[in-house]
Amino acid sequence: MFDNLSVMIVTYFAYIAIGVGLTAWVARQLNVHGRVFLAKGCKGNDELASSLGHLLSVGFLLLHVGFVLLTLKLGGVATDTTSAIELLSTKTGLVLIVLAISHFFHLALYARIHGKPRPVGVAGRDAGIVTADLVKA
Protein backbone atom coordinates (compact mmCIF):
# COMPACT_ATOMS: atom_id res chain seq x y z
CA MET A 1 0.00 0.00 0.00
CA PHE A 2 2.75 2.47 0.99
CA ASP A 3 6.39 2.40 0.00
CA ASN A 4 9.14 2.73 2.65
CA LEU A 5 9.57 6.47 2.12
CA SER A 6 5.85 7.15 2.59
CA VAL A 7 5.79 5.11 5.80
CA MET A 8 8.70 7.13 7.22
CA ILE A 9 7.18 10.47 6.22
CA VAL A 10 3.88 9.59 7.90
CA THR A 11 5.81 8.37 10.97
CA TYR A 12 7.84 11.60 11.11
CA PHE A 13 4.75 13.80 10.91
CA ALA A 14 2.95 11.73 13.53
CA TYR A 15 5.98 11.91 15.84
CA ILE A 16 6.30 15.68 15.45
CA ALA A 17 2.57 16.18 16.08
CA ILE A 18 2.54 13.91 19.14
CA GLY A 19 5.84 15.23 20.55
CA VAL A 20 4.98 18.90 20.12
CA GLY A 21 1.42 18.32 21.35
CA LEU A 22 2.60 16.57 24.52
CA THR A 23 5.21 19.27 25.11
CA ALA A 24 2.63 22.05 24.72
CA TRP A 25 0.22 20.26 27.06
CA VAL A 26 2.87 19.79 29.78
CA ALA A 27 4.01 23.41 29.41
CA ARG A 28 0.41 24.57 29.82
CA GLN A 29 -0.09 22.40 32.91
CA LEU A 30 3.11 23.69 34.48
CA ASN A 31 2.12 27.27 33.72
CA VAL A 32 -1.41 26.98 35.11
CA HIS A 33 -0.65 24.89 38.18
CA GLY A 34 2.73 26.42 38.94
CA ARG A 35 1.31 29.94 39.06
CA VAL A 36 0.49 29.55 42.78
CA PHE A 37 4.11 28.74 43.58
CA LEU A 38 5.38 31.58 41.44
CA ALA A 39 2.99 34.05 43.06
CA LYS A 40 4.22 32.96 46.48
CA GLY A 41 7.82 33.33 45.37
CA CYS A 42 7.06 36.75 43.90
CA LYS A 43 5.56 37.83 47.25
CA GLY A 44 2.04 38.22 45.85
CA ASN A 45 3.01 40.24 42.79
CA ASP A 46 0.63 38.54 40.33
CA GLU A 47 1.87 40.51 37.32
CA LEU A 48 5.46 39.43 37.96
CA ALA A 49 4.37 35.83 38.61
CA SER A 50 2.38 35.77 35.36
CA SER A 51 5.28 37.21 33.38
CA LEU A 52 7.76 34.79 34.93
CA GLY A 53 5.41 31.86 34.27
CA HIS A 54 5.12 32.87 30.62
CA LEU A 55 8.90 33.17 30.25
CA LEU A 56 9.40 29.75 31.87
CA SER A 57 6.80 28.24 29.53
CA VAL A 58 8.52 29.70 26.47
CA GLY A 59 11.88 28.32 27.61
CA PHE A 60 10.30 24.92 28.34
CA LEU A 61 8.69 24.83 24.89
CA LEU A 62 11.88 25.85 23.09
CA LEU A 63 13.93 23.24 24.92
CA HIS A 64 11.53 20.34 24.42
CA VAL A 65 10.38 21.12 20.87
CA GLY A 66 14.08 21.34 20.00
CA PHE A 67 14.57 17.92 21.59
CA VAL A 68 11.66 16.46 19.59
CA LEU A 69 13.10 17.82 16.34
CA LEU A 70 16.67 16.76 17.12
CA THR A 71 15.58 13.19 17.86
CA LEU A 72 13.61 12.90 14.62
CA LYS A 73 16.29 10.80 12.94
CA LEU A 74 16.97 8.54 15.93
CA GLY A 75 15.55 5.05 16.16
CA GLY A 76 15.87 3.38 12.81
CA VAL A 77 13.69 3.12 9.74
CA ALA A 78 10.07 2.03 9.51
CA THR A 79 9.43 -0.24 6.54
CA ASP A 80 5.85 -1.24 7.28
CA THR A 81 2.96 -0.31 9.55
CA THR A 82 4.14 -2.50 12.41
CA SER A 83 7.64 -1.08 12.46
CA ALA A 84 6.22 2.45 12.10
CA ILE A 85 4.06 1.98 15.20
CA GLU A 86 7.00 0.52 17.12
CA LEU A 87 9.28 3.38 16.09
CA LEU A 88 6.63 5.96 16.93
CA SER A 89 5.98 4.45 20.37
CA THR A 90 9.71 4.31 21.15
CA LYS A 91 10.23 7.93 20.16
CA THR A 92 7.10 9.07 22.01
CA GLY A 93 8.21 7.15 25.10
CA LEU A 94 11.55 8.92 25.00
CA VAL A 95 9.80 12.30 24.79
CA LEU A 96 7.59 11.38 27.76
CA ILE A 97 10.60 10.34 29.85
CA VAL A 98 12.42 13.58 29.10
CA LEU A 99 9.28 15.59 29.90
CA ALA A 100 8.88 13.71 33.19
CA ILE A 101 12.51 14.35 34.17
CA SER A 102 12.08 18.02 33.34
CA HIS A 103 8.80 18.13 35.30
CA PHE A 104 10.47 16.67 38.41
CA PHE A 105 13.33 19.14 37.97
CA HIS A 106 10.78 21.97 37.98
CA LEU A 107 9.15 20.58 41.13
CA ALA A 108 12.53 20.33 42.84
CA LEU A 109 13.28 23.90 41.82
CA TYR A 110 9.97 25.15 43.24
CA ALA A 111 10.58 23.20 46.46
CA ARG A 112 14.06 24.66 46.76
CA ILE A 113 12.73 28.19 46.29
CA HIS A 114 9.85 27.80 48.76
CA GLY A 115 11.10 25.14 51.16
CA LYS A 116 9.19 22.10 52.36
CA PRO A 117 5.41 22.41 52.49
CA ARG A 118 3.97 22.83 55.99
CA PRO A 119 0.44 22.51 57.34
CA VAL A 120 -1.53 25.71 56.93
CA GLY A 121 -2.14 26.29 60.63
CA VAL A 122 -2.86 24.73 63.98
CA ALA A 123 -6.36 24.95 65.48
CA GLY A 124 -4.94 25.23 68.96
CA ARG A 125 -1.97 23.96 70.84
CA ASP A 126 -3.80 21.13 72.59
CA ALA A 127 -6.29 20.41 69.79
CA GLY A 128 -3.67 18.75 67.58
CA ILE A 129 -5.82 19.28 64.49
CA VAL A 130 -4.33 21.01 61.49
CA THR A 131 -6.24 22.44 58.56
CA ALA A 132 -4.85 19.75 56.25
CA ASP A 133 -6.39 17.05 58.48
CA LEU A 134 -9.79 18.72 58.30
CA VAL A 135 -9.76 18.62 54.50
CA LYS A 136 -9.08 14.86 54.48
CA ALA A 137 -12.01 14.09 56.77
Q: Cα(85)–Cα(93) distance, rounded to whole angstroms?
A: 12
CA 54 to chain centre: 14
Domain that holds residue 35: 4-136
Position 69, amino acid: L
- Predicted local distance difference test score (pLDDT) of residue 134: 47
Torsion sign across C-alpha atoms 112, 43, 117, 55: negative
pLDDT in tens, 55-103: 888 999 999 999 999 999 888 888 888 999 999 999 999 999 999 998 8
pLDDT in tens, 112-121: 766 665 665 5
- Predicted local distance difference test score (pLDDT) of residue 124: 47
Whether the pLDDT of residue 37 is over 90: the answer is: no
**Domain count of the fold of the chain:** 1
pLDDT in tens, 16-31: 999 999 999 999 988 8
